[in-house]
Chains A and B, each alone.
Chain A
């Protein structure tokens, strides 16, 4: 399972759109229960982790059967104004696109691609 961002540098400007693609290989749809794709921010560091999901999509049952798992699928959303990516001493705020695949038999697989959310485009 792979997740790819549309920008090579992984920097996205707040209040602007984000595009990413995900793809699942070597899996049959009948082996899957559901797939979730989300755009989220989380905190890391000394404190307990906080997580907020900004954009969420879920495919299951009938919707899953319609998906061509070998092909790339697009996630698109408009990013919020905040929180911006931050790397401090006690706190780190990170953004990522995360795809989680639930397989039958209570097994799951996660792939994620981190990105930076900034105020001005990086040149």
Chain B
């Protein structure tokens, strides 16, 4: 008999032990969690409501505190343990819920194939969500609907595309991080200074303030960079003549870049990207790979004036053999239009505008005008 070695590296889908041993082991583990929770919860309930001696001790200490000093101490201890009681109760309940649910789910998966469980889940989802509406019927399965893309009509073309991850949001996040870190640093500085004034200097905290100040300065510079990027680079507008897109079809694209910019290079690209999500140990990692890039426009030494934005009408032709947009729980194929610029004196920028490619076939005729 070969014992499984937990320290050996698991390669691929090969399993260290048998399936049955795995199910039994997991069930024992979750049952242990559940029972530990029940034990902790019952113990706390018993101590709180079942121990009548606590009430007696209370009564005795109130009547004659000098004669029974131990009773008074016990009462004080009990009242001090109020927070601890609730912590143990919450932890016990969490163990009961996690252990019970996990064991139920694990046991439900015994004796049912992957296919059967998925088929049941699909049927359950169909019952839960009821009959699909007309738009849902038009969207092929596993292809994102992309309704957000068609929400706003454009000025020149049918739809104005929404950008992914705005630069203003980035600047706000950088500002919040910088302000919070530096506020904490000033609070610590106040503690150190008050220590020196009171004649009890805190040397460890004093020395820690130096690296903390370095991090604070880096955070502030990062915020200034983000602010410069947001303020200097004006609005980027991308509009498209049709949506969703179909392989082999031709479309029209309108790109506008405003701001006061002197760009070394401005580039508009159509990108198809593969995106996968996988677990590595306890971490969830996302990996991306650019499957296809098509440069729609590239221009060097572009100067943009605040009163005269850079505008361009571009043809967009999708390859006939292009894969459609796809999204499942852990994998995706995404299409996007990127506008990137190498700017000076402002930092470079790159904005993504997601689009959705449908497989050839049904064509929804939903135009804003």
Contact = CB atoms under 8 A, between A and B. Distances in A.
Interface of A: 14-15, 36, 38, 40, 43, 45-53, 56, 58, 80-84, 86, 88-91, 93, 98, 100, 102, 106, 108, 119-120
B331 A50 contact: yes
- Going nearest first, the 10 A-B pairs with the smallest beta carbon separation are A47-B276, A56-B119, A81-B140, A50-B328, A82-B140, A48-B330, A38-B115, A53-B118, A53-B119, A90-B274
Interface of B is mostly: mixed
Given A56-B115, A83-B143, 13 more contacts: A14-B361, A45-B276, A45-B331, A48-B279, A53-B122, A81-B141, A81-B359, A82-B358, A84-B324, A86-B326, A91-B274, A93-B331, A106-B20
Using C-beta atoms within 8 Å of the partner chain, give the interface range for chain B.
Answer: 35 or more
Contacts of A47: 276-278, 287, 330-331
Contacts, number: 110
Contact of A82 (B143, B330, B331): B143
Contacts of B300: none
28 contacts: A14-B359, A36-B115, A38-B119, A40-B118, A47-B277, A48-B277, A48-B330, A48-B331, A50-B329, A51-B118, A52-B141, A52-B142, A52-B328, A56-B119, A58-B116, A81-B140, A82-B141, A83-B143, A83-B324, A84-B323, A84-B359, A88-B333, A89-B289, A90-B274, A90-B275, A93-B331, A106-B20, A119-B359
A91 B333 contact: yes
Nearest to A100: B113
B274 A89 contact: yes
Contacts of B141: 52, 80-83
B173 interface: no
Contact of A98 (B115, B276, B326, B358): B115
Nearest to A80: B141
Contact of A46 (B116, B119, B287, B329): B287
Contact of B360 (A50, A86, A98, A119): A119
